[in-house]
Amino acid sequence: MSEYDLNGNGKIDPDEREIMLEDRRRKMLDSDAKRDTQRRLTVACAAGMLLYPFAILVASALGFSEAASLIADIATVYVVAASGVVAAYFGFNAMEATK
């Protein structure tokens, strides 16, 4: 609370209280935005991992055998990276829940 006591009189005045409440509100909004962004990134990675085999099948069905081969070649790297993002999201959420 002392960080919000701007005039140093030992108590929170009404104007200092407004500053404190605004600071807390902004911290909550920032935290919410961060969680939403992390959730969207995780959903995008998980969806990509699920749709990746279909991309290979579609490229092959459309006659792009070279493209399908290239996509299949980088599949292992993509799946490992996307899995890391998803695992980190769930790991950090579990750590925050224990606090």
Residue where the block lists tokens 């030992």: 10
Q: Would you state the pLDDT for residue 38?
A: 87
pLDDT at 4: 80
pLDDT digits over 7-62, tens only? 878 888 888 889 889 999 999 999 899 889 888 988 998 898 889 889 889 988 99
CB atoms within 10 A of CB 45: 20
- Return the number of other C-beta atoms located less than 10 Å from residue 74's C-beta: 10
57-83: average pLDDT: 89
Report the C-alpha gap between 63 and 82 in whole angstroms. 27
Judged against a pLDDT cut of 70, whether residue 63 lies above it is answered with yes
pTM value is: 0.66
In this predicted structure, what is the pLDDT of residue 1? 58
